[in-house]
């Protein structure tokens, strides 16, 4: 089990660079998860750190961990109040017509026996807003920067597929599934940066380098 890269560290917080494919919680069928690493991430502290938020198993990049219950509550509140700045990078399985814009699509969760659960745009769903811009275009695909205002489950994935009309490359739920997955090892989404404000203290700031599987598809950050 290789050690996870630490992007930020102080007495209250850790930000790690979560690898794509590593689930935060242990899957029902078993297998590796972030839980395997929490003991090693104590780094001299009494308690193992606790994830403050969730990013999808396939998504790589910045994940904030709190080192004690008090800071866990404070950081969780910052996410709830939309005070956290989040920057994602994603590779689309195609190119958008414009170079930038804002997607506002409310989202609801549905489930069925044959397809399991997924998020869909729905007028009565929870309001969801994502700002986006094209960083680069390459070989019929595009690297986009996403700045979500809200933090709904699968928000960027659904906003790309339904708001832009172009899903993320490799997305098995909202994209073409196995047809495109051969071109990508996973859903190509990366949590590139995180800024978490702290009253009376310097904010928690972290940037996760672009992963190798993004570079392998010919893209660089900026």
Q: Where are the alpha helices (DSSP H) in the chain?
A: 69-80, 155-158, 178-181, 212-215
Rounded to the nearest angstrom, the gap between the alpha carbon of residue 173 and the centroid of all alpha carbons in its chain is 16
Q: Assess whether 56 carries a catalytic annotation.
A: yes
**What six digits make up the tokens of 74?**
């404070």
189 and 175 in contact (C-beta within 8 Å)? no
Q: How far apart are CA 20 and CA 164, in angstroms?
A: 24
Q: Which of 56, 171, 213, 221 is catalytic?
A: 56
**What six digits make up the tokens of 162?**
């339904």
Sign of CA dihedral 23, 25, 27, 32: positive
Output the furthest CA–CA distance in the chain (Å, rounded): 52
Q: How far apart are CA 186 and CA 26, in angstroms?
A: 19
Reference 146, options 135, 130, 157, 161; nearest CA is 130
Catalytic residues, which ones? 56
């Amino acid at each position: 089990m290789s050690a996870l890269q630490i992007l930020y560290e102080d007495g209250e917080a850790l930000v790690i660079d979560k690898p794509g494919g590593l689930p935060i919680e242990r899957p029902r069928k078993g297998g590796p998860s972030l839980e395997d690493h929490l003991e090693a991430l104590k780094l001299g502290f009494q308690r193992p750190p606790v994830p403050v938020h969730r990013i999808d198993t396939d998504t790589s990049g910045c994940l904030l961990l709190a080192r004690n219950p008090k800071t866990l509550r404070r950081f969780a509140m910052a996410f709830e109040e939309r005070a956290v700045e989040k920057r994602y990078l994603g590779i689309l399985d195609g190119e958008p017509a414009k170079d930038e814009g804002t997607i506002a699509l409310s989202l609801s969760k549905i489930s069925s026996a044959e397809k399991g659960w997924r998020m869909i745009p729905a007028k009565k769903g929870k309001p969801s807003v994502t700002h986006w811009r094209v960083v680069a275009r390459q070989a019929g695909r595009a690297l986009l920067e996403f700045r979500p205002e809200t933090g709904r489950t699968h928000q960027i994935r659904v906003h790309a597929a339904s708001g832009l009309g172009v899903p993320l490359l490799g997305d098995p739920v909202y994209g073409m599934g196995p047809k495109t997955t051969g071109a990508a090892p996973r859903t190509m989404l990366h949590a590139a940066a995180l800024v978490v404000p702290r009253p009376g203290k310097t904010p928690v700031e972290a940037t996760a380098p672009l992963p190798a599987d993004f570079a392998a598809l010919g893209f660089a950050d900026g």
